[in-house]
Amino acid sequence: MNITLEKMNFGDLQSSLIFLYGSDVAARNLPFKRDETAYLEARRKEDASSLVVFNRLPHKIYVQNFDSELPTAESLEKLRRAAAAIQKMLSDEKVQRVALAGEGIIPEEMVAFLEGLHMANYRFDKYKTKKDTLLTDVAVDNLIVEPNVLEENLRLWRRIDRCRDWVNEPVMYLNAPLFADLLKAEAERLGNVKCTVLGQKKIESLKMGGLLAVNRGSEDEARFVVLEYKPADRVNKRPIALVGKGVMYDTGGLNIKPGDYMLEMKSDMAGAATMASALFAAAENRLPVYLMAFLPMTDNRPGKNAYAADDILRMYDGTTVEITNTDAEGRLILADAIAYADQQNPALIIDAATLTGAAVRALGTCAIAAMQQDAASAYNLLSIMGDQVCERLVQFPFWKEYDEMLKSEVADMINCNLGAQAGTITAGRFLAHFAHHPYIHLDIAGVAYYAKREHFYGVGASGFGIRLLYAFFQMADQLKA
């Protein structure tokens, strides 16, 4: 979708118009007739968030009312969701070009609406013969948004779309080696990101027992990708380490997933895609924050010499792990990555992973299940940013008592507690064992991929978490590093 800034002349519109109608308007600036204005006022009194459509053949004016007196985060989220509803109407009506203006609004409100419109306009349709009609051009009133603000946000939104493409791509077209190649090419294109790809032999030499074990059932080699963005004007001397789960497809291994539980498992690499995308977004917009990403990649298959329950692995840091469930594979590859990242003396480690079904059962599709160890200040800032962009965190307890559920009779730990209790928390506690610097764990299982359309996130890969992390990076000067 091409978004441009233009001077608006309501008397000479060549396309349909979306008009944002805020709480504090000047009637003389409205592109409506007197009776239309009266009707709008009546509708606003009935419903401050109503949509009114005026037919001006051959075009239409879509007037989106909104209450700008609501708390800021709530008001902006309503605008994003309103944009998604309008995008669907425009798609159904085969509209491809619109103008966007408003009255009684501020730039942040226009940007939020554009954000919702852009994200809702995304489709993963490369394999469809008949495609939806989508918006191709949006002209925005240049009196409301500054060009540099629009460009920064466009780069972020396009980065989210690229992440969604990666997560939506079937494993037959995007396995671990191919994904590593894509990330390397993207880093080279940007020019300010260093990308190191560790192949199978290097992973073996490093003795990353978790990653190697999960990869044993696969025909495709594993990869471990390290990205580094280190700007000269960075506010943090030590990096923020981003660790992302890159299970390109998860069958469950020998503990194979039953029924339709294997559907959507191409999305099990959303953590890696999210962390790579967040770092690339910061680099593309040249945020003054030092970031590194550590991305272990493999698929989890039951073939060849697949690892099995009762196996005992020796992890990268020397910890021994008894396998109780091969479908708890994500924490194994993440553990090696966290231990490797820990050696880089980071100011903070944040991981993101589609890790547990328990997180989905606890929170549904509304929030990220989050935990922290020795990172209270950073977590509080991340949570505040989550509330602001409405990609929210719910903090789970992270008490050491949960470690009792991970004890093994024959090794240092088991990889998955037996029974159904505290599945999200114990998965996080397993990972926390490998982190010796401030650590935040984000279980994105409920929000990374939607089986049905979820307002502006759409259906399929959502990109949920990238806006959250980007907002957090913008506040990195508040972190002591």
Same domain for 114 and 162: no
Among 35-49, 142-156, 284-298, 317-331, the minimum mean pLDDT is found in: 35-49
Shared domain check, 137 and 213? no
Question: Which pLDDT score, from 0 to 100, does residue 13 have?
Answer: 80
Q: Are residues 221 and 352 in the same domain?
A: yes
Tell me, yes or no, whether 121 and 50 share the same domain.
yes
- Distance of alpha carbon 61 from alpha carbon 56, whole angstroms: 7
Say how far apart CA 243 and CA 292 lie, in whole Å. Answer: 9
Domain end, chosen from 90, 117, 145, is at 145
**Is 151 inside a domain boundary?**
no
Tens digits of residue pLDDT in 214-240: 999 999 999 999 999 999 999 999 999
**What is d(CA 65, CA 247) in angstroms, rounded to the nearest whole number?**
43
Distances (CA, A) of 47 to 35, 52, 434: 18, 11, 52
Least confident interval from 4-8, 67-71, 277-281, 373-377: 67-71
**Span of 19-28, 168-177, 222-231, 433-442 with lowest mean pLDDT:** 19-28
Comparing CA positions, the residue from 142, 424, 160 lying closest to residue 281 is: 160
CB 114 within 8 A of CB 100: yes
**pLDDT band at residue 90 under the 50/70/90 scheme:** very high
Same domain flag for 372 and 225: yes
Q: How many Å apart are CA 380 and CA 386, to the nearest integer?
A: 10
**Which pLDDT value is given to residue 27?**
63
Least confident of 24-28, 211-215, 431-435: 24-28
User: Structural domain of residue 427, as residue ranges?
Assistant: 156-478
| Catalytic choice (81, 331, 429, 467) | 331
| Percent of the chain clearing pLDDT 70 (strictly above) | 99
| pLDDT at position 32 | 86
Q: Which of 121, 145, 169 is the endpoint of a domain?
A: 145
Q: pLDDT tens across 8-55, in order?
A: 988 788 899 999 998 776 666 688 888 888 899 899 889 999 999 999
Answer yes or no: is 233 within a domain: yes
Q: Which residues contact 189 (CB under 8 A, 6 or more apart)?
A: none
**Rounded to an integer, what distance in angstroms lies between the CA atom of residue 309 and that of residue 322?**
8
pLDDT at 479: 80
Q: Do both 378 and 269 map to the same domain?
A: yes
> 34 Cβ partners below 8 Å, 6+ apart?
none
Whether 438 and 375 have beta carbons less than 8 Å apart is answered as yes
Predicted TM-score (pTM) above 0.85: yes
pLDDT of residue 171: 98
In a domain, 216, yes or no: yes
The DSSP output letter for 221 is: P
Q: Do 215 and 266 reside in the same domain of the chain?
A: yes
* C-alpha pair distances (Å), 35 with each of 40, 62, 104, 123, 147: 9, 16, 20, 39, 35
**Residue type, position 116, single letter:** G
The pair phi, psi for residue 298, each rounded to 5°, is: -170, 165
pLDDT score for 34? 86
331 carries an active-site annotation: yes
- Co-location of 317 and 187 in the same domain: yes
Task: List the structure tokens of 341.
Answer: 């990242």
Residues 306 and 249 in one domain: yes
Taking phi first (over 0 means left), then psi (-120 to 50 degrees means alpha), and beta for anything else, what does residue 318 get? left
189 and 126 both lie in a single domain: no
- With contact defined as beta carbons under 8 Å apart, do 225 and 197 qualify? yes
Q: Are residues 138 and 217 both part of a single domain?
A: no
The tokens of 194 are what? 């260093």
- Annotated catalytic residue within 88, 97, 158, 257: 257
Q: How many domains does the chain have?
A: 2
Q: Are residues 68 and 189 in the same domain?
A: no
Q: Which residues contact 220 (CB under 8 A, 6 or more apart)?
A: 175, 176, 177, 248, 298, 299
Asked whether the beta carbons of 173 and 301 are under 8 A apart, the reply is no
Q: 462, 452 in Cβ contact below 8 A?
A: no
Q: Mean pLDDT across the chain, nearest whole number? A: 96
In a domain, 352, yes or no: yes
For the stretch 343-401, pLDDT in tens is: 999 999 999 999 999 999 999 999 999 999 999 999 999 999 999 999 999 999 999 99
Give the CATH number, domain containing residue 7: 3.40.220.10
Within-domain flag for 150: no
Which of 145, 165, 186 terminates a domain? The answer is 145
In single-letter form, the type of residue at position 378 comes to A
